[in-house]
A = this chain, B = another copy of it.
């Protein structure tokens, strides 16, 4: 059975690892940073710039009005942000059409909805995410619990805002996913096995 799997995840929940292990187990491509590389190649924009655009808050331009005109001035920044999102959309679509694959994040569940992907959402309790960040995230070991919590909440808020801006849907709302996995008490291997049981019919 042909299957494209999208993995959305809360920062620190271990969703990226679930995605990577899943792709290895199914022997299909795993796309995460490759999407960024492709956008850079296609747009000729600097990698750092594209990354900043994709990782920062969505851009809400303040409507600049000139003289007595009621028409807003052309907003170059806003246009560029949208152009990068459209390019990302096109990259993801091309990847999904090429072969079965696992795509992590980047609104792929929404972008690929016409292809009927298996949509996974991976989450965890804050305590679990803090512990995981302390162990695995570069630099995380030097932060206090409060600092880690603020970092996780900040990234979650950004992802949520970004997702909502481009899809009009609430990020993490379970009605938009086929399976939501709480990693607090579940190992990566078990989560992968649960997902595979929905892909490979025995």
Contact = CB atoms under 8 A, between A and B. Distances in A.
A86 interface: no
Interface stretch (A31-39, A71-79, A191-199): A191-199
Contact of A185 (B116, B184, B194): B116
Interface in A164-183: 172, 174-175, 177-182
Interface of A: 116, 121, 123, 125, 172, 174-175, 177-182, 184-186, 190, 193-198, 201-202
A106 to B, nearest CB: 21
A144 B129 CA distance: 46
Contacts of A180: 174, 177, 179-180
A173 to B, nearest CB: 9
B182 A193 contact: no
A181 B125 CA distance: 18
A182 B190 contact: no
A177 B125 CA distance: 11
Contacts of A197: 190, 193-194, 196-197
